[in-house]
Amino acid sequence: MSEKPDVDRMLDIACMAAREAGKIQKQLASMDFRVERKGLTDLVTDVDLKCEKAIVDIIKETCPDHEILAEENGASLTGSDFKWIIDPLDGTTNYAHGFPVYCSSVALEWKGEIIVGAVFDVTRNEMFTAAKGRGARLNEQRISVSNNHKLIDSLLATGFPYKIRTEKQNNLAQFAAVAMRAQAVRRPGAAALDLCYVACGRLDGFWEFHLKPWDMAAGALTVSEAGGRISGADGCNFSVYTPWIAATNSLIHQELVDVIKSS
């Protein structure tokens, strides 16, 4: 049986790890880093790998018995009730092109529940943090979701799968349907930041299909702790292990889900 989590300490570790990855991203952004393909349009750089190693090293030094689930190197299983869920560089394609929308994302799951999250955007020096039951913050200042009540007045974000050319559920029909009913839809390309932008009111909602736990874990907690609502894209119960999500200020949630489901 594992000990009760020290949430303050765990959040400090998450922030330290996310910041360390951000330092690496900043240092190497203008250098000739290596880019490889995991698929036709799914990229990985040696910056992803360096960032992941830095984060994992910090976790292993501070919490050696904890499990780790990371994007590039998969799972490290120890039998612990604690599991760190890591995206070392969310927005790799953006990073590879010099488009400044990317971040590092570190979350901690305890007994199946996400309890801590940190998302760091080094390009803007913005650290989004959340702890279960303690609210969400941006650079230590409390944040909350927007108060837009109507989809037509809302700014939304979404994304598309890497296999957009072959995947039947490629989100194109949903994108078109929502775009016709919302004020505008954006496609920034980093799901963790999209979720944090919902949390701080820059966006009113976000949805996407074919995501992984590391894309959603920290950001989803941040939305919830900022007063937003999270579900599956069809309105069903949400889990970071279910690869689709709808996240809103709660006020437009049902309207957005209804459009997604009907398109």
CA–CA gap between residue 120 and residue 107 (Å, rounded): 12
For CA atoms 179, 254, 136, 191, the dihedral sign is: negative
| Concatenated DSSP letters of 93-118 | HHHHHT-S--EEEEEEEETTEEEEEE
Two structure tokens written together for 25? 């991203």
Which structure tokens are listed for 8? 């303050």
Beta bridge partners of 142: 137
Q: Which tens digit of pLDDT belongs to each residue from 129-151?
A: 999 999 999 999 999 999 999 99
Residues 6+ apart with CB under 8 A from 194: 157, 158, 159, 188, 203, 206, 208, 219
> How many beta carbons lie within 10 A of that of residue 145, not counting itself?
25
Which residue ranges form the domains of the chain, and what is each CATH number? 7-142 (3.30.540.10), 151-262 (3.40.190.80)
Q: What is the pLDDT of residues 70-87, one digit of tens each?
A: 977 767 778 899 999 999
Handedness of CA 196, 199, 201, 206 (dihedral sign): positive
Q: What is the mean pLDDT of the chain?
A: 93
Q: How does pLDDT run across 39-65, given as a tens digit for each residue?
A: 444 456 788 899 999 999 999 999 999
Residue with tokens 């939305």: 223
**37, 48 contact by CB (below 8 A):** no
Tokens of 7: 């949430």
For the entire predicted model, the pTM comes to: 0.94
Residue among 43, 12, 71, 68 at smallest CA distance from 192 = 71
Residue type, 114: I
Residue 253's nearest CA partner among 130, 156, 167 is 156
- Looking at residue 44, what is its pLDDT? 62
Residues in a beta bridge with 209: 244
Q: How many residues are listed for the chain in this entry?
A: 263
Question: Per residue of the chain (263 residues), what is the pLDDT tens digit?
Answer: 457 799 999 999 999 999 999 999 999 887 766 666 554 444 567 888 999 999 999 999 999 999 999 977 767 778 899 999 999 999 999 998 999 999 999 999 999 999 999 999 999 999 999 999 999 999 999 999 999 999 999 999 999 987 788 888 899 999 999 999 999 999 999 999 999 999 999 999 999 999 999 999 999 999 999 999 999 998 999 999 999 999 999 999 999 999 999 98
Of 95, 83, 6, 14, nearest to 55 by C-alpha is: 14
